């Protein structure tokens, strides 16, 4: 295999494919590598940890077709360190030679025959607006759990609704629900559970893509953006394939209150700014208290032997005066995810889940459990 490619193009492609490379010490050694396959002027780079696979195709100046597996992190670091300009890559039987200007590197290869084969994606596909999907993922993915002991909660539940697609995630302390109206990805009554890690990587990969295609198999989901060229030809694009999570997602609907007696309406940015300042004193899992009353809302945090912080914000409040406390990071995540200038915080009492929504839009909901304080 032999080709020439601009450094910045190769850096970006290697960086994207390497994000799926296995970091688990007990995994197959070849999974620490990135597979490079050249056909004509089309180079496809593949990284995988068996659960997640990212493939990137770029157009290069190809001279000799071939397949090789390079140590992923090392190859990415070498190419990134080179001076801007053309990078020459030539692969022999056991070594890849990477050169640019006066810089020359020889890198030992991993056995290409050991690299897992990427399953073919189903033929049926649906096309989504990439920008709308990225926005929805930004709002929902942070609420998913990172605890592998409860794999069901590490996924984003995608289910067909009457007017489109619904995305749901929870870590049992908070719940995010986002509706994408007019999106017909799933059949009526159908649902899938997609790993949140894969969807987080997808949001990064889509960048400024206009559209993304989705192909759903029985056990896998494949997302594709750009002009992905897997079998030769030319084009620059990305394909992400992830295993679906098996199991029953919790009944999240029963957690969402039908109505709330108390409602705070406040500017999104002023609340976020105040949260960022007050949580500087919320150390060691200290919650932030919100004192709700007719004069607005006052945020406070007290950490023993460190200090305290208080800040008031103008707001509209309807309901009984109360003090309710939250994990400041979780509350900030929910407020930050809301679109629009104003957010509402709806509560029943200081011990029941609170709901954060946009005042201007009804397609997103963030439910948050309060923290019990004395």
> Are 89 and 26 found together in one domain?
yes
pLDDT digits (tens, 9 = 90+) for 130-147: 899 999 999 999 999 999
| Rounded Cα gap, residues 278 and 281, in angstroms | 6
CATH of the domain at 85: 3.10.150.10
167 and 137, same structural domain?
A: yes
Given the structure tokens 């390079």, which residue do they identify?
Answer: 70
Shared domain for 101 and 211, answered yes or no, is no
Distance CA 155, CA 193 (A): 6
Instruction: Based on the fold, state whether residues 102 and 190 are members of the same structural domain.
Output: no
Domain check: are 105 and 145 in the same one?
no
Which residue, 253, 276, 301, sits at the end of a domain?
Answer: 253
CB 298 within 8 A of CB 361: no
Q: Residue 157 belongs to what domain range?
A: 128-220+242-253
Look at residue 187 in the predicted model and tell me its pLDDT.
Answer: 76
In a domain, 235, yes or no: no
Full-prediction pTM beyond 0.85? yes
Asked, for residue 212, whether it belongs to a domain, the answer is: yes
In a domain, 327, yes or no: yes
β-bridge partners, 157: 168, 193
- pLDDT for position 118: 84
Check residue 13 and give its pLDDT.
96
Q: Which residue has the tokens 């992400």?
A: 240
Q: Give me the residues of the chain with pLDDT under 50, please.
A: none
Same domain, 83 and 149: no
- Predicted local distance difference test score (pLDDT) of residue 218: 86
Please report whether residue 318 resides in a domain: yes
Do residues 17 and 66 share a domain?
Answer: yes
Predicted pLDDT at 229 = 61
Q: Are residues 183 and 289 in the same domain?
A: no
Number of domains in the chain: 3
Tally of residues, the chain: 374
């Amino acid at each position: 295999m032999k080709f020439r490619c601009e450094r910045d193009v190769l850096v970006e492609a290697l960086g994207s494919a390497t994000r799926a490379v296995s970091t688990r010490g007990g995994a197959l050694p070849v999974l620490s590598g990135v597979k490079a396959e050249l056909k004509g002027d089309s180079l496809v780079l593949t990284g995988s940890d068996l659960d997640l696979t990212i493939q990137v195709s770029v157009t290069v100046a190809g001279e000799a077709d071939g397949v090789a597996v390079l140590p992923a992190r090392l190859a990415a670091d070498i190419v990134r360190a080179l001076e801007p300009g053309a990078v020459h890559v030539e692969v022999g039987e056991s070594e890849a030679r990477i050169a640019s200007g006066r810089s020359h590197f020889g890198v030992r290869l991993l056995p290409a025959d050991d690299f897992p084969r990427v399953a073919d994606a189903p033929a049926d596909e649906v096309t989504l607006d990439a920008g709308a999907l990225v926005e929805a993922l930004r709002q929902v993915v942070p609420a998913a759990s990172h605890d592998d002991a409860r794999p069901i909660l590490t996924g984003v539940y995608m289910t067909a609704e009457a007017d489109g697609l619904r995305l749901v995630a929870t870590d049992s302390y908070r719940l995010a629900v986002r509706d994408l109206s007019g999106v017909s990805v799933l059949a009526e009554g159908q649902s899938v559970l997609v790993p949140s890690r894969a969807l987080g990587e997808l949001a990064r990969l889509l960048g400024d893509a206009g559209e993304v295609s989705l192909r759903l198999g029985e056990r896998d989901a494949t997302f594709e953006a750009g002009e992905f060229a897997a079998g030769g030809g030319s084009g620059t694009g990305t394909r992400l394939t992830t295993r679906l999570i098996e199991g029953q997602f919790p009944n999240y609907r029963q957690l969402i209150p039908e109505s709330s007696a108390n409602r705070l309406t406040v500017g999104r940015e002023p609340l976020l700014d105040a949260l960022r300042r007050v949580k500087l004193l919320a150390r060691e899992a200290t919650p932030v208290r919100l004192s709700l009353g007719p004069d607005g809302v006052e945020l406070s945090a007290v950490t023993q032997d460190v200090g305290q912080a208080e800040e008031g914000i103008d707001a509209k409040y309807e309901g009984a005066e109360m003090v309710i406390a939250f994990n400041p990071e979780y509350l900030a995540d929910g407020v930050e995810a809301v679109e629009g200038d104003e957010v509402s915080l709806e509560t029943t009492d200081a011990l029941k889940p609170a709901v954060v929504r946009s005042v201007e839009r009804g397609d997103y909901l963030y439910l948050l459990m309060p923290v019990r304080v004395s």
